[in-house]
Amino acid sequence: MANHSPVGSQHHIVPVKTYLVTWLILLVLMSATIAASYVQLPGVGNNIVALIIATIKAVLVVMVFMGVKYSTKLVKIWAMIGFIWVTFIFGILIDYATRIPVSGFNSDFSTTVPRKAEVAGQPSPPQDQSTGYVAPTDNPKLKAQLGQ
Amino acid sequence: MATNIQEAALEVHDDHHHGPLKHQYEDIDQQNETYIVGMWSFLVTEVMFFGALFLGYVLMRWEYSNDFYISHFQTEVFWGGLNTTVLLSSSFSMALAVHFAQLKEPKKVIAGLCVTLLGAFCFLGVKSHEYLVKIADHHVPGPSFIPPAGTTHNGSQMFFSLYFMMTGLHGIHVIIGAICITTLIILWAKRKPVVTEDYVPTEMVGLYWHFVDLVWIFLFPLFYLIPK
Amino acid sequence: MSLTATQVEAIPEKKNYLNHDHTIWSWLSTGDHKRIAIMYLFTVSIFFFMGSIMAGLIRLQLISPNSTLLEAETYNKVFSAHGIIMVFFFLLVVIPAILGNFLLPIMIGARDLAFPRLNLLSYYLYLAAGVLFLTGQCFGGVDTGWTFYTPYSSMYSNSQVALTITAVFIAGFSSIFTGLNFIATVHKMRAPGMTWFRLPLFVWAMYATSIVIMLGTPVVAITLMMVVVERTTHIGIFSPDLGGDPVLFEHLFWFYSHPAVYIMILPAFGVQSELICAFSRRRIFGYHFVAFSTLAIALLGFFVWGHHMFVSGQSMYQGVIFSLITFLIAVPSAIKIFNWMATMYKGHIRLQTPMIYAISFMGLFVIGGLTGLFLASMGTDIHLTATYFVVAHFHYVMVGGTVTAFLGGLHYWWPKMFGRLYPETLAKYTAIIVFVGFNVTFFPQFILGFLGMPRRYAYYYYYPELQPYHIMSSLGASVLAIGLLLPVLYLTWSLKYGPKASDSPWGAHGLEWQTQSPPIPQNFETRPIVTDDVYDYSDDENEVYDQPDVKQKPTPAGAH
Ligand SMILES: [Cu+2]
């Protein structure tokens, strides 16, 4: 340990200029993303532009500020694996995209609560027209049951 | 059985080490690399931590896209942009602090850290202003919630639920970061060898702070910049 | 130096991690991975005892179809407490935190884990979580089951959900910190010559487990935290009441909780590999296959969570894909079983206590794994969902797998941990009692489930024909209880009265058998340099095998 030479140490000292340039690019990108949000693009265009810019910014921060560009392979893998795995969580969306019917998950709930009322021969409680969903707390019968 | 243990031609450490080297490591390089690996593993868990929330956001925005679109006008792009600038700049000053920690220039390190800390407070100040505005406008989900005109109750409430959860969790990270930076400033000001002789503690706080910045980079367009 | 047993007794005890400092404070503030492992052993045992009491109550209740012992509400709280304690406070920690903590640094030739103080912090977080959970129990307990499904947990349940979930959240962070520690240690602290493919398979298993912890646990932590926030402040995304989606909770919960079963079983695989090699006196068959199948299970395990949701209204197409991947993940598990069997084939098998546990592990895990395939296919799962079939399946994997492997590992490394031998014959019979008791408890539950007994029901008086199976299961549970209580007694006894163990009482291969028993605080006198392959039993056909009488072999380290 005693005669440990600085040559042996792996760390790379990044010049201030690199940081400065990165910072300026980040600020420019931020302005760009704000500006882009005022332009109405067709479809999901705006979201794509915003996310691409955000990703570029994130890569810059990770690579330069966090120094991944100058790090060992292991750190590079570690830096990637988190982001890769997050995309796997987004696999959950496949479920919602492929359900039958695809009208949205709220339509499932609407069949659960009012069913009781239908069985009793009463008119269904008023539904939220936009979602077709009846909140249990809006349901007078349920309210009575819950003692509210 | 073949011999696994041989007399290693390595120096035996003193048990009473004063410097930054801990007893379980052979040398400072090993220690530093281990710390960096540990910190990155922690950041991976942090990414996953926020990942679940981002998924919730995507799903709810898909379900209530119109409500999200209308509700997002309640967030002001000026304050969001200001906070982005503040965080990006504080990340820059943090990077400089680490740079000077590598060069062992305590005064510049402290200056960099102080600027970063100032950024953290600025960010929190702006954030609390925004929260206060939303509280005044009855945009906090709950019994007193009043949806913005043209939105459904559930949809806009979901927008603000996610807004408060995600920015709130991010805010907690900013506060933790500020505490770490303050501790670091104190250590540097006292010229403790644990930071002055080894840049890695500073680097680790730096990594954490950049991560906080990273989360905000995604939060900003998702809550403030749904197309105007 | 060859000493007889009496001479060993005569000389004062050598300095080791247990006796180098006796004060309570030196234990509470220790950074020594070995001492932290012992503290975990103590705490986890207490939780296991509590969880077992809850299990006992459940079995007592179900002897009769008429709900004679507990009210339905109490029963809900009892099975919830059983599940939460056993999953979050026992299974997730037991092998990583006890055996992993103790052995990982020694096996790779390090002085300690990478972050000793973080290790201590994770112990205290675990303890705090446990105390918080028990506080919740004192204030009335929780009745949601260990899965905390919304909207019941977020809206309707009137029990201590917030407190309990916070406890689980903290326990999650304890587990995360342990995982980080292991990852950094395996990557950076290996001794010279200890290449990746010289690592004992236990280390591979701990590494894979840590990766699962790192990638999975945060997801469940934030998900459960959202439930707490939703419960307390009504800001949430799960309750349909608030326009949210309870199925999203199930997705996020199982995104972690399926990998979590690999956090529980992968360490058991690691222990199993060690035991099989040591007691078959052979190098493991297909080392690379076993190592990579460990990683494959860890990573594939993230893509099967939907098999818990076949009847939760998830997309049919996604169900098909999840079903398929679930079948696929049986392959790496099968690779392991076949490799262990191939290792035993033509080996010099010694039926010591740990080996009996190892063999019973293989039988039980195969049953547990194969019944998993019934649940993985969507058609049969609709019939079997939420029945005792599921209960029996995961108890075969968790108790038959993890607990058996833990007991085997504990018996195997006990002489290393405390330097004492336990009464071998008694231990052998105990292992057999555990095996028999376990099967009698849980095999009838497969039949019960197939006949339609739902899980989590306090009574079944519409279907009293099920009673014989329940009685048999409860009988088995009492045999199992004896089998689990006996090790507590004789292992505790051995701490004081057991004969002294030599440094390598099994004649096994590996760095941990080349240090002193119990090890010195810094594990090795000098830094070990590894020169031979892992599980290299090729040259020791006539190896001295000194169990149970103590014969000191000259240790090659020249350590003392
Ligand atoms: Cu599963």
Burial classification of residue A100, based on how many CB atoms lie within 10 Å of its CB (0-12 exposed, 13-18 middle, 19 or more buried): exposed
Mean pLDDT of A131-136: 48
pLDDT at B55: 93
pLDDT at C155: 82
pLDDT surpassing 70 at residue B1: no
Q: Provide the pLDDT confidence category of residue A3 given band limits of 50, 70 and 90.
A: very low
How far apart CA B166 and CA A148 sit, in angstroms, is 32
How far apart CA C533 and CA C524 sit, in angstroms, is 19
Residues in chain C, pLDDT under 70: 1-13, 538-560
Q: Which of these ranges, A15-19, A84-88, B11-15, B197-201, has the smallest mean pLDDT?
A: B11-15
Which residues of B are less than 8 Å from A81 in CB distance? 44
Q: Which residue of chain C comes nearest to A86, CA vs CA?
A: C215
Q: Is residue B212 part of a domain?
A: yes
pLDDT at A41: 82
pLDDT at A121: 47
pLDDT surpassing 80 at residue A19: yes
pLDDT at B5: 36
B107-113 long-range CB contacts below 8 Å, 24 or more apart? B109/B188, B109/B202, B110/B185, B110/B188, B110/B189, B113/B181, B113/B184, B113/B185, B113/B188
CA distance between the termini of chain C = 9
Q: Which residue of chain A comes nearest to B207, CA vs CA?
A: A66
Q: Which C positions 497-556 lie with beta carbon below 8 A of chain B?
A: 509, 511, 514, 522, 524, 526-532, 536, 539-540, 543, 556
Q: Which of these ranges, A101-110, B110-119, C19-28, C91-100, has the smallest mean pLDDT?
A: A101-110
A interface test, pick of B10, B18, B36, B87 with most A CB neighbours within 10 Å = B36
Is B188's Cβ below 8 Å from some Cβ in C? no
Nearest to C556 among B3, B38, B64 (CB): B3
A83/B217 Cβ within 8 A: no
- Residue type at position B38: G
A54/B220 Cβ within 8 A: yes
> Could you report the per-residue pLDDT of A34-48, keeping only the tens digit for each?
998 888 888 788 888
Return phi, psi of residue B22, to 5°.
-85, 160
pLDDT at B8: 35
pLDDT at C490: 94
How far apart CA A38 and CA A107 sit, in angstroms, is 34
- Any residues with CB less than 8 A from the CB of B45 and at least 6 apart, and which? A82, C176, C180, C214, C215, C217, C218
Burial classification of residue B108, based on how many CB atoms lie within 10 Å of its CB (0-12 exposed, 13-18 middle, 19 or more buried): middle
DSSP designation for A28: H
Q: For residue C395, how far is the Cα from the chain centroid? A: 12
Is A21's Cβ below 8 Å from some Cβ in B? no
pLDDT at C435: 95
Contact C226, C288 (CB under 8 A): no
Q: Is residue B7 part of a domain?
A: no
Q: Which C positions 286-305 lie with beta carbon below 8 A of chain B?
A: none
pLDDT surpassing 60 at residue B226: yes
CA of C237 relative to ligand 1 center, distance in Å: 24
Whole-complex ipTM: 0.88
A58/B218 Cβ within 8 A: yes
Instruction: Give CA angle at C339 (C337, C344), nearest 5°.
Output: 100
B162/C236 Cβ within 8 A: no
Mean pLDDT of A5-18: 64
pLDDT at C179: 94
Contact C557, B5 (CB under 8 A): yes
Nearest to A95 among C215, C240, C318 (CB): C318
Is B7's Cβ below 8 Å from some Cβ in C? yes
Q: Which residue of chain B comes nearest to C524, CA vs CA?
A: B5
Size of interface B-C (CB pairs under 8 A): 158
pLDDT at A5: 37
pLDDT at A141: 52
CA distance to partner chain B, nearest, from residue A28 (Å): 10
B24/C110 Cβ within 8 A: yes
Which residues of B are less than 8 Å from C185 in CB distance? 34
> Could you report the per-residue pLDDT of B156-190, keeping only the tens digit for each?
889 999 999 999 999 999 999 999 999 999 999 99
Neighbours of chain C (3+ CB pairs under 8 A): A, B
Kindly report the CATH number assigned to the domain that includes residue B216.
Answer: 1.20.120.80
pTM of the entire predicted model:
0.87
Average pLDDT, chain B: 86
Nearest to B44 among C116, C215, C514 (CB): C215
> Domains in chain B: how many in total?
1
pLDDT at A138: 53
pLDDT surpassing 70 at residue A1: no
pLDDT at C12: 61
How far apart CA C402 and CA C395 sit, in angstroms, is 9
What's the domain range around B53? 38-224
pLDDT surpassing 60 at residue B3: no
> Could you report the per-residue pLDDT of B71-95, keeping only the tens digit for each?
888 888 899 999 999 999 999 999 9
Q: Is residue B14 part of a domain?
A: no
Q: Is residue B130 part of a domain?
A: yes
pLDDT at C338: 93
CA distance to partner chain C, nearest, from residue B175 (Å): 18
Q: Is residue B20 part of a domain?
A: no
Class assignment of domain C35-513? mainly alpha
pLDDT surpassing 70 at residue A139: no
How far apart CA C235 and CA B201 sit, in angstroms, is 37
> Could you report the per-residue pLDDT of B135-155, keeping only the tens digit for each?
998 888 888 888 888 888 888
